[in-house]
Structure 1
Amino acid sequence: MSHATGRVWSPVITPFSQDLAADTERFVAQCRWLLDADVGLAVFGTNSEANSLSVEEKIRLLDALIEAGIPAARLMPGTGACALPDTVAQTRHAVGKGVEGVLMLPPFYYKGVSDEGLFRYFSEVIERVGDDALRIYLYHIPPVSQVPLSLTLVERLLAAYPRNVVGVKDSSGDWANTRALIDNFAADGFQVYAGSEPFLLQTLRAGGAGCISATANVNPAPIARLARDWQAADADAQQAALIRTRKLFERFPMIPALKAVTARYSGVGQWARLRPPLVELDETQCQELFASLDEIGFDMPGLKHS
């Protein structure tokens, strides 16, 4: 099933003030800037430093977005946590706010867990939230979580909860796995998102839904354009340009790089700040990244005014 237009979501970076508290006002402004570029908001994702935020903080930030008039239908908050009650609390709250769906990590502390254990975890969350409006996008990110979600597990969850388990973000970096998810499940409307935009065009051509990507934080409009125009004559050239930009960021630790660049183009130095244990890029890294971006004429239009 090919999608007429693909969709792009950004795991929105979280701004921190000097005391390391989340800066709500700046967070809302950043989300508005992304929405203006036609990018959805996968707040509390990996690049949001979500696992450095408390459950209470994430609930408060989501409330702030809704209160500021950010449309709930453009939100896909990350709600997966190691502790089942934390996942249930965040998920129940998000569903109650009317979000498009939730992006759910597996419990990631224990390694080598069985498909049976993971099935029970997701099943418990779904049963305890107990809401037909719950739409889960599974989050497969084995390079970070070290807890993969197998095709067998996805198949079992879809059979048990076809109305609640509606998609997956595949951040394995393995095209064969993304392709298998699309080939096995997309025909029934299951939405398969690539974990980064280098895979966007092939995902859409294969019948996937789009991408949920770190660099949508900094290069949103061009990524969203390819998702919309993926059947255009210049789609391959658009894809090549996106890959070129992405590769510049991949030479550095991703979250510090996204924040350094956002600080530079917004003129707000505080954007560079991270919560420990993550640390900022050093001066040399910043100069190298900025020079390489200048070389390709990179810009973040409208960010200063947001």
Structure 2
Amino acid sequence: MTQSALPPPQGVYVPAVLFFDQNEEFDIEAIKAHVLRLAQGGVTGVLVQGSNGEAQHLSHDERKQTIALTRETLDANDFQNVIIIAGTGGQSTKETKKLCADAKEAGAAYALVLTPGVWPPQMTKPNIIRFHREVADASPIPTMIYNFPTVTAGLNLDSDTIGTLATHPNIVGTKLSCGDIGKLQRLTSTVPASEFATFPGKSDVFLQGLVSGSAGVIGALPNVAPKAHLRLLKLYKEGKFEEAAKLQALLGHADWQLGNVGSIAGIKAVVSKHFGYGKPFVRGPLGPANLDAFTIDKLEELIELEKTL
């Protein structure tokens, strides 16, 4: 590409969970209900096939189907402005290129690319850089770097590596699910926000990220409380830092409790219980979440707030 692609705009993005029936097949109506509630909650974009979307548990056709279903649901309800980012992580360069092409065809505007983690000793810095550049060269939509050591066998891209990749004209951002604010600030202070969007991948550092120049957040907790996250962003922009810090404290506690419950299954269980759609089924080898076995007082406090906004 001769001209650099534009990064996604500042805002709240949510890696949406997928809902299944008891046979681990798509619950189409629940998926649509969830996408619609997120859009009505004001999210800037929906990440389809992030880690919360169980991407690695789906076939290529299913991955493409969920992107298309999300786009159709948004468009049918006058949310054409809501952006779709598609997770396109594969375990080979060839597969990842195919997933990026599929994402474009299904209606995604950006691709979020996970670094392959099957052979971590072989994933040297030069190989990582070569992988992401080759994918970006081939992708028909701009790509973003997804740094999530938990799901890539501990591979944790440093700010130098991501900064090197940020110079590619078709690589326009990163999601830092490592939660490293130092890394985030090194990137935001080095690469112009007009060219590269840096997002924390956790709500417990949402405000800290904004203070450090982030483009917002791409986090699991907005599956439960999108309006509360939009509220924090508004408070920050208005300079109401004391109120923003108080809300951030609640988000931090709620994010921790949601993770303790067991993020993906936990999100589904909480949404099913408190918002009246979907069942808490996940695809094996993941297991169900038992909300009664955990302390979720702060999470429930956040839900009460969400329902007032």
Equivalent in the alignment of 2:5: none
Are 2:122 and 1:115 aligned? no
| Selected match of 2:159 from 151, 168, 180 | 151
Are 2:58 and 1:49 aligned? no
- Structure 2, gaps ≥5 residues long: 1-8
Equivalent in the alignment of 2:31: 27
Deviation at 1:122, TM superposition (A): 1.7
Equivalent in the alignment of 1:7: 11
Equivalent in the alignment of 1:66: 71
For the residue of structure 2 that corresponds to 1:30, the secondary structure is helix
| Selected match of 2:142 from 135, 141, 144 | 135
Q: Contact 2:14 / 2:223 at 8 angstroms: preserved in 1?
A: yes
Q: Root-mean-square deviation (CA), in Å?
A: 2.3
Q: Deviations over 1:2-23 (max 9, x none)?
A: xxx9411111011011221122
Equivalent in the alignment of 1:281: 289
Deviation at 1:114, TM superposition (A): 0.8
For 2:191 and 2:151, how far apart are their aligned partners in 1? 24
Aligned length: 290
Q: Which amino acid aligns with 1:154?
A: I
Deviation at 1:138, TM superposition (A): 0.7
For the residue of structure 2 that corresponds to 1:87, the secondary structure is helix
Are 2:180 and 1:174 aligned? yes
Task: Map residues 208-247 of structure 1 onto 2, 5 A cutoff.
Answer: 208-231=214-237, 232-233=239-240, 234-247=243-256
Equivalent in the alignment of 2:6: none
**TM-score where L is the length of structure 2:** 0.85
Deviation at 1:90, TM superposition (A): 1.8
Deviation at 1:144, TM superposition (A): 2.6
Q: Deviations over 1:211-268 (max 9, x none)?
A: 1111110011101211233133222122122223223223322112111111111334
Q: Contact 2:15 / 2:223 at 8 angstroms: preserved in 1?
A: yes
Q: Deviations over 1:12-67 (max 9, x none)?
A: 01101122112223212211110111112011111111111111101011122223
Higher alpha-carbon deviation: 200-209 or 146-155:
146-155
For 2:266 and 2:142, how far apart are their aligned partners in 1? 31
Percent identity for Structure 1 against Structure 2:
26
- Structure 1, gaps ≥5 residues long: none
Higher alpha-carbon deviation: 77-86 or 33-42:
77-86
- Note closer, same or farther for the CA distance 1:299–1:263 as it changes in structure 2 (3 Å cut): farther
Q: Contact 1:105 / 1:140 at 8 angstroms: preserved in 2?
A: yes
Q: Which amino acid aligns with 2:235?
A: D
Equivalent in the alignment of 1:88: 97
